[in-house]
């Protein structure tokens, strides 16, 4: 990890931003709810797995797909912020 702070995106003062407004995936396939930080080299997102989600198992645990897909969706959303 670098000691140099990650610069925030040019319009980061408008974050958090709904992920569905940034990436083409809709509904539960979007996986992330919002982009909360968009740096030059990193992103932070928020996700809530709700009742009825295809990623919520009957026993209340979450499918691994969420943990694999979240970074990809976050990176795509970050790219959308930085390309503005």
Rg (CA), the chain: 14
- What pLDDT, in 10s, does the model give residues 28-73? 889 999 999 998 889 999 999 999 999 999 999 999 999 999 999 9
Q: In what order do the strands lie in the sheet with 34-38?
A: 17-18, 34-38, 43-46
* Consecutive H or E run containing 70: helix 64-82
Long-range interactions of 4-8: CB distance < 8 A, separation 24+: 6/39, 6/40, 6/41, 6/42, 7/39, 7/40, 8/37, 8/38, 8/39
pLDDT at 77: 94
pLDDT at 1: 44
Q: Reply yes or no on whether the pLDDT at 78 is more than 60.
A: yes
Q: Reply yes or no on whether the pLDDT at 16 is more than 60.
A: yes
């Amino acid at each position: 990890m670098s000691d140099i702070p990650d610069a925030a995106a040019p319009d980061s003062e408008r974050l958090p931003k709904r992920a569905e407004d940034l990436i083409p995936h809709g509904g539960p396939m979007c996986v992330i709810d919002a982009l909360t930080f968009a740096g030059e080299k990193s992103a932070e997102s928020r996700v809530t797995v709700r009742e009825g989600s295809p990623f919520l198992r009957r026993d209340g645990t979450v499918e691994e797909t969420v943990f694999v897909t979240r970074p990809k969706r976050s990176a795509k959303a970050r790219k959308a912020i930085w390309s503005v």
